[in-house]
Each structure stands twice: as structure tokens, then as C-alpha cells.
């Protein structure tokens, strides 16, 4: 009973925030002279619904015509004709989950680090580089001149090893890139918010340079790096184990999602079950308390920054190895890292929350991107999300209003009861 009340209590505010966010954003939709209801219908259909989804109802149950002219009703999330949108949404949620975890770990050490973007692209470029360089070196070593003709056994071994090398290296690079702002915070008390913003800017410039010059692969209009070797590829489900499942056909969701889920479990375990996680959480609570108890606060903060950076680096590597397979100019400004910060804030840094919010966030983005309706720009998704975050942050205010509303009812009932009494007397 108590547990039920608590869960109800903790999810009621996000849900109210979502509704308020949609209501507030509808002002902008109305300004563009289209109906908000229809827009949202379209938005959610494009983001969460099955192909051909027309209205809110279709999000749950959907009429499909089967070959002989009749129709049958299906449960939409499981309907996968032409590839499910949910799969696509999961593909996009994968890096978001990791960057949100990264933000949560930093926040829970009292570090308001928003360096996820920088760490993400540094991890990505590392994976993109090693993804062709390492196989090259191996082929050279064993004397294979044509990778296509390499023996199957070699390829199988490489497929087991190369992605691991790429992921590990990207985590390391991300971790170091996050450790530096942590170190100058602990030693020199330089504000981490400012230093991570600067580090993000540096990373973006660096990657733009690398992609345009030293790592540019060809004379394609838009500069891009070489494609990673097939053996470095984190094969998506639709090319691997679930080749025949139509549901997965349109999306490159794959091993990366499993890695992200495992990472979420590990982060939860680290924060809640280990002394190291305890140290960083206490440091955040009040650092005076942590110092009073003898907790090595500097070490706890630096450890948090390393873990946070590694998670963002991992996100970048998965985006490359699992989806993009190369870094294209403009990738660095994609903002996946910062979206992760928003997801973490919206989820109140809870791990379960992140696993719920990241797909929702990805779905809204997807819906807004695909939305072709009136003159509405794809930024609508961003507007809605911003409003939701704003209302979510107003939790205390909303709670108070709610309570006042309920209390108002209570009082009127009470006073009417007493007035009833007085008339009786």
C-alpha cells in the first residue's frame, strides 16, 4: 500500500508535467495556424505508433488489412510490418541512456558537469579511427591483402576482439576527457560547469578539423572518415539474430542497447551497493558531512568524473560502431550528450527513470523530425521537451497547487457541514 502510494506519488508529477508541457507548446502550434490536437496526434504517431498510424487510438490498437480484403485488429507496439517505429526509437534511445547515466553519475557526486557532448564525440572519433586502423594492422600482420578474402576464422576472432578494443579505448578517452575538468575543480576549484562547456567547444572544433583534414577519407561533398571495417561493426539485430523478425527490420538497434542496459544495471549497483558510490553520494549531500566522516572527497569526485566520462565515451563508440559506422562532418554538433543531461534531469537522476525517459525523449524527437504538417518546424520536439522539463522543475509549485486544490475541497466540505449544523440549530 505504502509502496503503491509512493510510486503513484513519484510518477504523478512527470505525467502532469508532460500534459502541461504539451498544453503550453500548443500555443506555438496554434500560432502556426494548425490544430494542436491533430498535430499531437501526428507527432505521437510518427514517434511511437505503427506505420500508417492516424490517431491516438492507433497507438494502442491498429486495424490492418490482411491479404484477403478483411481487416484485423493488432496490438500496435508489437506490430512490425515494414519495421516498427519502436525499434527505431530504441536505436535512438541507446546513446541517450548512456549519456544520461553519465550525467547522473556526475550529478550524484555534486558535480554539475555537462561535458557529455565533448566526451561523446571524443569517444566517437576514437572508435571511428580504431574501427578501421586496428583491422588494418591485423591484416598487415597476418599478411592478408584483400580483407574480403580473409579466412573466416580470422574474421570471427577479429569480430570478437576489435569492437571490444574500440569500445574500451573510447571509454578511456571519454574518461580522461572528463577527468581533467574534475581535477582542476578539485585542485584549483575551477567551476566544472564552465570548464566542461569549454571542453565541449574544444572537442567539437577538434573533431571538425580531424574529419575535414587528417581523417578525411574521400572527396565526398560532406567530409567524412573512412568506414569502419566490417569486423568492428556491432551488428544490429536486423542483420544478426533477428534477421527474420520484421519488427526489427527498419532500425539499427542492436548489441549497443544490451550494453546500455547492462551499463544501467552496473551504474545502479555502483551508486547504491558499493562504498565508492556511497562516498560520492555523501560528498554531494553536504561535503562538510563527508569530510567530517573522513570520506576522501576529492578521490570520490574524480572517480565519479572518470566513470561519467567513460559512459559518455561508450555512448559515442556505440553510436559509431552500431549505427553510423563513420564520422560525418556535423556529427559533433548533434547534441546527444546534452540531450542526455536533459534526460537525467527529467528522470531526477534515477536509473529506472532514465530507462523510461530516454525512449520517450527519443520518440518525441523522432516524431518531431518526421512531422510534416503545416509550417511546423522539427524544433517543435525541442520546444515540447523544454516545456516538460520546465514544468517538471516546478514540482514543488505544482505539488502546492494540487494540495491547495484538494484542501480547498476539504474546507468547503467542512464549512458547509458546519453551516448545515448551525441552520439546524
Partner 1 sequence: MSNAIELQHIRKYFASSQVLACDDVSLSVESGEVHAIVGENGAGKTTLMSILYGLLTPDEGQILIKDSPVRITHPNDAIRNGIGMVHQHFKLVPSFTIAQNIMLGIEPNRAGFINVNSEAEQVRNLAESFGLPVNPDLPVREISVGMQQRVEILKILQRNAQILILDEPTAVLTPQEVREFLTVVRRLAGTGRTILFITHKLAEVKAIADRVTTMRRGRNVGTHFAKDQTIRDMANLMVGRVVTLTVEKGPAHPGETVLQAENLLVAGADGIPAVFGASLDVRAGEILGVAGVSGNGQTELVEAIVGMRPVDGGTIRYLGQNITHALVRERREAGLAHIPEDRLTTGLNLTTNLDENVVVTSYQHKPYSQQGIFSFAPIRALAQEIIDKFAIKSARVGEPIKTLSGGNLQKIVLGRELKGDPKLIIANQPTRGLDVGSIEFVHKTLIEARDKGAAVLLVSVELDEILALSDRIAVMFAGKVLAVLDAKEATEEKLGLLMAGSLELHEANAERAHV
**Which residues make up the interface to partner 1 (CB under 8 A)?**
273-276, 278, 281-282, 285-286, 288-296, 404, 407, 411
Closest CB 282 distance from partner 1, rounded Å: 6
Closest CB 176 distance from partner 1, rounded Å: 23
* 242 vs 278 by CB, closer to partner 1: 278
* 72 vs 275 by CB, closer to partner 1: 275
Dihedrals φ, ψ of 216, to 5°?
A: -60, 135
Distance CA 290, CA 312 (A): 27
* 82 vs 293 by CB, closer to partner 1: 293
Cα angle: 179, vertex 180, 183; to 5 degrees? 85
Closest CB 194 distance from partner 1, rounded Å: 20
* 273 vs 378 by CB, closer to partner 1: 273
Distance CA 425, CA 419 (A): 10
Cα angle: 353, vertex 356, 361; to 5 degrees? 110
CA 256 remoteness from chain centre: 12
* 287 vs 369 by CB, closer to partner 1: 287
Closest CB 243 distance from partner 1, rounded Å: 40
* 107 vs 177 by CB, closer to partner 1: 107
Closest CB 277 distance from partner 1, rounded Å: 9
Cα dihedral sign, 92-98-100-103:
negative
* 214 vs 413 by CB, closer to partner 1: 413
Closest CB 4 distance from partner 1, rounded Å: 14
Pairing of the two strands 71-75 and 61-65 = antiparallel
Distance CA 261, CA 113 (A): 22
Residues 207, 354 contacting (CB under 8 angstroms): no
Closest CB 259 distance from partner 1, rounded Å: 23
Dihedrals φ, ψ of 115, to 5°?
A: -85, 15
Q: Who's near 278: CB < 8 A, 6+ residues apart?
A: none
Closest CB 349 distance from partner 1, rounded Å: 13
Among 114, 130, 298, which residue's Cα sits nearest to residue 203?
114
Give 216's strand partners. Answer: 225
CA distances from 309 to 121, 169, 345 (A): 11, 12, 17
Q: State the angle between helix axes of 275-285 and 255-273 in degrees (0 to 180), rounded to the nearest 10.
A: 70
Closest CB 161 distance from partner 1, rounded Å: 29
* 239 vs 407 by CB, closer to partner 1: 407
Helices (H), 32-151: 36-48, 85-107, 116-142
* 105 vs 364 by CB, closer to partner 1: 105
Distance CA 380, CA 185 (A): 37
Amino acid at each position: 500500500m505504502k509502496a503503491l502510494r509512493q510510486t503513484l506519488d513519484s510518477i504523478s508529477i512527470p505525467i502532469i508535467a508532460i500534459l502541461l508541457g504539451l498544453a503550453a507548446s500548443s500555443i506555438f502550434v496554434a500560432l502556426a495556424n494548425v490544430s494542436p490536437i491533430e498535430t499531437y496526434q501526428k507527432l505521437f504517431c510518427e514517434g511511437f505508433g505503427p506505420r500508417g498510424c492516424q490517431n491516438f487510438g492507433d497507438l494502442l490498437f491498429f486495424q490492418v488489412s490482411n491479404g484477403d480484403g478483411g481487416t484485423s485488429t493488432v496490438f500496435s507496439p508489437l506490430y512490425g510490418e515494414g519495421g516498427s517505429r519502436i525499434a527505431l526509437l530504441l536505436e535512438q534511445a541507446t546513446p541517450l541512456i548512456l549519456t544520461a547515466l553519465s550525467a547522473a553519475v556526475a550529478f550524484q557526486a555534486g558535480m554539475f558537469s555537462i561535458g557529455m557532448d565533448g566526451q561523446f564525440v571524443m569517444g566517437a572519433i576514437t572508435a571511428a579511427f580504431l574501427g578501421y586502423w586496428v583491422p588494418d594492422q591485423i591484416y598487415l600482420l597476418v599478411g592478408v591483402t584483400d580483407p574480403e578474402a580473409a579466412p573466416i576464422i580470422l574474421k570471427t576472432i577479429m569480430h570478437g576482439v576489435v569492437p571490444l578494443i574500440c569500445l574500451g579505448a573510447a571509454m578511456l578517452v571519454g574518461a580522461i576527457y572528463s577527468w581533467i575538468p574534475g581535477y582542476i575543480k578539485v585542485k584549483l576549484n575551477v567551476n566544472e560547469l564552465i570548464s566542461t562547456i569549454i571542453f565541449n567547444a574544444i572537442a567539437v572544433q577538434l573533431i571538425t578539423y580531424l574529419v575535414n583534414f587528417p581523417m578525411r577519407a574521400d572527396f565526398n561533398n560532406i567530409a567524412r572518415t573512412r568506414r569502419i571495417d566490417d569486423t568492428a561493426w556491432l551488428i544490429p539485430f536486423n542483420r544478426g539474430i533477428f534477421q527474420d523478425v520484421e519488427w526489427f527490420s527498419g532500425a539499427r538497434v542492436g548489441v549497443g542497447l544490451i550494453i546500455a542496459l547492462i551499463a544501467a544495471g552496473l551504474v545502479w549497483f555502483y551508486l547504491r551497493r558499493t562504498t565508492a558510490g556511497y562516498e560520492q553520494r555523501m560528498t554531494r549531500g553536504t561535503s562538510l558531512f563527508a569530510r567530517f566522516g573522513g570520506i576522501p572527497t576529492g578521490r570520490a569526485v574524480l572517480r565519479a568524473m572518470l566513470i561519467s566520462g567513460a559512459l559518455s565515451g561508450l555512448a559515442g563508440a556505440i553510436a559509431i560502431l552500431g549505427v553510423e559506422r563513420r564520422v560525418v562532418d556535423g556529427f559533433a554538433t548533434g547534441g546527444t550528450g546534452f540531450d542526455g543531461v536533459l534526460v537525467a534531469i527529467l528522470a531526477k537522476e534515477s536509473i529506472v527513470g532514465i530507462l523510461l525517459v530516454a525512449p520517450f525523449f527519443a520518440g518525441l524527437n523522432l516524431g518531431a523530425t518526421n512531422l510534416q504538417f503545416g509550417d511546423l518546424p522539427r524544433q517543435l520536439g525541442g520546444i515540447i521537451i523544454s516545456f516538460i522539463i520546465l514544468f517538471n522543475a516546478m514540482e514543488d509549485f505544482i505539488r502546492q497547487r494540487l494540495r491547495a486544490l484538494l484542501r480547498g475541497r476539504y474546507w468547503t466540505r467542512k464549512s458547509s457541514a458546519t453551516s448545515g449544523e448551525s441552520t439546524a440549530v
